[in-house]
Chains A and B, each alone.
Chain A
Amino acid sequence: MTPTEADAYSRSAAAYVHIPFCSSVCPYCDFAVVAGRDDLVGRYIDAVCTEITTSEPWRPLEAIYFGGGTPSHVDPSVLGGVLDALSLKHGFSADAEVSLEANPEDFDVARATTLRSLGFNRVSFGAQSFDSSVLVALGRRHQSGQIESSVRAARRAGFENVSLDLIYGTPGETANSWRDTLRRAIDLAPDHISCYALTVESGTPLGRAVRDGAEAPDPDTQADRYENANMVLSAAGYTRYEVSNWSYPQHECRYNLTVWAQGQYEAYGNGSHGYRDGIRFRNIRRIDAYVSAVESDKTPRSGNDVIEGWDAEIDRLFVGLRRVVGVAPGPGVTTFLQSDSGRRLVDADVVNLVAGRLTINRPLLTDEVHRCVLDLEAPQCFPT
């Protein structure tokens, strides 16, 4: 993907829909999720549809992403209802990417076919690992065989785009186990693979366990795994286009590309985040609070950040630098290169300039670059 193509997503219109339901909560999970509250599905989906219907009309959407939680956990027809509301409100562009996240344990040909017929054309499986001991350690409910059958089901149902999410660096995972996971993932020939380092978030059961002395993921081991993944995936024809994402050519996730190009995206559902008309906004995180807000005609928004002027330039660097193509020249890039910490990052070869674009050379140090970006002050000449 060329930088021009990547940057073009800054003009896209996308939408995110949050489906917070899971059959149980994985110990590392930090998302806005609920388990055992399937009784709320009806009211929740109604609320989401209300939120969609009452939102500002927009242009046709080019990418729609159902994330969670586990969208595949609820009845497909329910998701279809949400899609209808969305297309009624904003319309979909002809070649819109319509993604959903799915867990291997609740996916089969019948469900796949229904979802495909409702309009979904991309599915991203929470595969995480093919090693059963790692799956257990992660508190996942599926077996590796279910990943394989899910991918086959999706293909049979006609999904053009299939993605696998993998997690590396789980304590107990070995280098061999990770290599094996990568190999078995590649054998399934998904169009897209995301590899995420297991991250310990405070407030999660994993976070508490680690605080109380359980083994934490080792950053150096994770770095090894990451480098190994990049090597193996490249050899298998996948290209990395973002810190943690690889795909076959032209199979990048367009919803994500929109986010990283500082494009705009609507967000619906509890705990969701959007960016529209220069405002980064977020919704109430608790599902019950979200539902009652919508039901009582109150806004479900819990926060707005106006992104304008210098902040917008910083924001552009912030999101754009996650991409392999980096960011186009601009006042932010110039200021970065003139700052002390920016220069240190150049000296240490963490970032470099490719045809005027600032790019990250060592993606594993992205946060280091981000902190520096957030610290940049507007140059005197910058209009406020």
Chain B
Amino acid sequence: MTDQTRIRNFSIIAHIDHGKSTLADRLMEKTGAVSERDMRDQLLDSMDLERERGITIKAQTVRLDYKASDGEEYVINLIDTPGHVDFSYEVSRSLAACEGALLLVDAVQGVQAQTVANAYLAIDAGLDVIPAINKIDLPAADPDRAAVEIVNILGGSANDIVRMSAKTGAGIDEVLETVVRDVPPPRGDPEAPLRALVFDSYFDAYRGVVCYVRVVDGHLGSGDSLRFMATKEVHDANEIGFLTPTFVRVGVLGTGEVGYLITGVKEIDRIKVGDTITGARTPATEALPGYAEPKPMVFSGLFPTDGDDFEKLRDALEKLRLNDASLAWEPETSKALGFGFRCGFLGLLHMEIVRERLEREYDLDLVATAPSVAYRVTMLDGSVTEIKSPQDLPETIDRRGVAEPYVKAMILTPSEYVGPIMELATSRRGIVGDMNYLSPERVELDFEIPLAEIVFDFFDLLKSKTKGYASLDYEPADYREADLVKVDILLNGQPVDAFSAILHRDGAEDYGKKMTGRLRGLIPRQLFDVPIQAAIGGRIISRETVKAKRKDVTAKCYGGDISRKKKLLQRQKEGKKRMKMVGSVEVPQEAFVAALKLDDDL
């Protein structure tokens, strides 16, 4: 057991690509945790998708031994945090395991939305935030400007900010020294009953669920019988140890220490991130604060293109869930798309990652319906139900009102884009709040906006309006009543459930027009005229017609070339196999996909 005064627990928080992983690598190299050679293989064995997108979903945690310039040996636990807003609960749990956070800012890009969001999360969690400016080796680096921006958020003095390069290694010693000096040591009570925080967990095919834990009070011994306070389950500590980053078994994790715990539990959802572990025999009376159930925010129907793949999709979702307790789903049947699942995600990125993994790793071909949010419907009798799918919205006469989730959003942008962003935000029913200049060129805009507007296409629009320079972060706020309606799309008089959407009345007509227009271009001509209508309740708000096909014939069957002609038609028929029948209308799978694809013109 290490004396608490010699322990430093900290996280690196940064906007994507500002150099968090590179710095982590450097720190490990510097402290000899890994040799330079195995570093890549050992540390970044995480999922391809994460690597491609430069984000981490699952935290990596490592224990570093460092001999500081004061001559003392320190144990530094570097606790990584998931790198995206969708996982802010996970971020908050990782932060809860630390006493300090290193806020890393790219010297070229300066402070970004995530930097600010994460800095506030860290401050709210009571951590000491130590800023550092990375990438000073780059020719375009402007560390002075970054420093001013940092001071505008954190206060303090620009001169005290560490300037470094995770690439060249410049300033790394200073970072370590600053961590030892400025991150407070843990101050748990070694004599108190055990309280340890589960700040992350993952599923390992051989070991079952592996928990990452931070001992707050008391100590955690191998073989101890443990009580998980939120789930109320009792499990034995089959194995405990440090992450160096390879597993090193130990007999006990002392107060303030960080390590892993294996209990033999195989199901990821039986271990809750944020739960408090205590001794089964002498339990603590009070759990550590801050536990919450991860709550899906964004919902989308996932349907296999090939109806036969339904079971395969279910298996794949179950496998993904082994490692992602926040993934939730229930079966859903769509007249247009067949059998599938309504899935709940923490956010848009989470949704995208899950979808991509299903398609890539499980070789599934999927149609996803437009993402929606959970609405709260107040019925006439005053009862409130939550609906996650537009189809479930009760008729207007059966309900008293509908409320939708709002988020607090923050956009950081070069000041020249403030106008277009305000315009975008207000056109999406955003209520603009504070505007805060971090520097003359960079502005923080705060506003409240319905989540539904963000999940639709906000990110893409923001990106295109600001040439990619603005960054966005958001956190759930509250539910608010709004004049919401369900827009149905009818094909030849039949509603196509996959295209129904809940929208604010002001935007409904627009949606209807665009959807019918778009479908008119996507639905091939049939043997008869096919009307495409958008309707609110029984009222038609827009109408288009796919005119009947008039000509589909090979004019000349030249020289009796029957075989070739047959082959040609056979090939066309193959294409037709991917058609879905909606009533008597044949709709190609691609039409659903294309119509549901979000882009700037919707």
A interface, CB within 8 angstroms of B: 16, 18, 31, 67, 194, 196-197, 199, 219-220, 222-223, 226, 243-244, 259, 265, 267, 271-275, 280, 282, 303, 305, 315, 318-319, 322, 344-345, 348, 350, 363-368, 370-371, 374-375
Contact = CB atoms under 8 A, between A and B. Distances in A.
B553 A275 contact: no
B512 to A, nearest CB: 27
B563 A219 contact: no
B563 A305 contact: yes
Nearest to A18: B559
A350 B527 contact: yes
A273 B553 contact: no
Interface centre among A271, A322, A364 (most CB of B within 10 A): A364
A322 B553 CA distance: 10
Nearest to A218: B551
Nearest to B525: A219
A196 B560 contact: no
B360 interface: no
A95 B313 CA distance: 68
B539 interface: no
B573 interface: yes
B563 A273 contact: yes
Contacts of A370: 565, 569
Contact of A364 (B553, B556, B572): B553
Interface string B424-467: 00000000000000000000000000000000000000000000
Contacts of B551: 197, 219-220, 222-223, 226, 364-365
Interface string B557-599: 1111111111001101100100000001000000000000000
29 contacts: A16-B560, A67-B559, A197-B551, A197-B553, A219-B549, A219-B551, A219-B552, A220-B547, A220-B550, A223-B551, A243-B553, A259-B560, A273-B561, A273-B562, A273-B563, A273-B564, A282-B561, A282-B563, A318-B566, A344-B584, A348-B527, A363-B553, A364-B551, A365-B551, A367-B572, A368-B527, A370-B565, A374-B569, A374-B573
A196 to B, nearest CB: 4
Interface of B: 527-528, 547, 549-566, 569-570, 572-573, 576, 584
B550 A219 contact: yes
Contacts of A371: 569, 572-573, 576
Contact of A366 (B554, B561, B563, B584): B554
B570 A265 contact: no
A280 B547 CA distance: 38
A319 B553 contact: no
Interface centre among A196, A273, A344, A350 (most CB of B within 10 A): A273
A240 to B, nearest CB: 13
Query: Closest 3 A-B residue pairs measured CB to CB?
Result: A348-B527, A223-B550, A196-B555
Nearest to A265: B560
Contact of B527 (A259, A280, A365): A365
Contact of B558 (A31, A220, A367): A31
B262 to A, nearest CB: 57
Given A199-B554, A282-B561, A319-B557, 8 more contacts: A31-B559, A219-B550, A273-B564, A274-B560, A344-B584, A367-B569, A371-B569, A371-B576
A259 B561 CA distance: 10
B572 A259 contact: no
Contacts of A350: 527
Given A223-B550, A282-B561, A375 B584 contact: no
A67 B572 CA distance: 28
B545 to A, nearest CB: 14
A368 B566 CA distance: 12
A267 B549 CA distance: 36
Contacts of B584: 344
Given A348-B528, A350-B527, A368 B560 contact: no
A13 B308 CA distance: 49
A344 B584 CA distance: 8
A275 B560 contact: yes
Contact of B566 (A197, A223, A303, A374): A374
Contacts of A196: 555-556
Contacts of A274: 560
A196 B550 CA distance: 15
B501 to A, nearest CB: 30
A322 B562 CA distance: 12
Contacts of B562: 259, 273, 275, 280, 315, 318-319
B570 to A, nearest CB: 6
B550 A267 contact: no
A229 B573 CA distance: 30
A31 B558 CA distance: 8
A218 to B, nearest CB: 9
A31 B527 CA distance: 31
B580 to A, nearest CB: 14
A31 B557 CA distance: 11
Given A370-B569, A374-B569, A374-B570, A364 B550 contact: yes
A348 B550 CA distance: 12
Given A345-B527, A350-B527, A374-B570, A303 B563 contact: yes
Contacts of A199: 554-556
Contacts of A315: 562
A315 B563 CA distance: 10
A129 B29 CA distance: 81
Contacts of B553: 197, 243, 363-367
Contacts of A345: 527
Contacts of A280: 562-563
Nearest to B577: A375
A244 B555 contact: yes
Nearest to B561: A273
Contacts of A226: 551
Interface centre among A222, A226, A315, A370 (most CB of B within 10 A): A370
Contacts of B558: 31, 67
A6 B527 CA distance: 29
A282 B567 CA distance: 14
Nearest to B548: A348
A318 B554 CA distance: 13
A273 B559 contact: yes
A223 B550 CA distance: 6
B446 to A, nearest CB: 48
Contacts of B566: 318, 374
Nearest to B526: A348
Contacts of A244: 555-556
Given A368-B527, A371-B572, A374-B566, A322 B557 contact: yes
A183 to B, nearest CB: 21
A318 B570 CA distance: 12
Contacts of A271: 559
Contacts of A365: 527, 549-553
A216 to B, nearest CB: 13
B494 to A, nearest CB: 16
B548 to A, nearest CB: 8
A129 to B, nearest CB: 15
Contacts of B560: 16, 259, 265, 267, 273-275
Nearest to A364: B551
A272 B559 CA distance: 7
A350 B558 CA distance: 24
Contacts of A16: 559-560
A248 B553 CA distance: 24
A244 B555 CA distance: 6
Interface centre among B557, B561, B564, B576 (most CB of A within 10 A): B557
Contacts of B552: 219, 364-368
A267 B555 contact: no
A195 to B, nearest CB: 8
Contacts of B569: 367, 370-371, 374
Nearest to A198: B555
A67 B563 CA distance: 18
A291 B556 CA distance: 27
Contacts of B565: 370
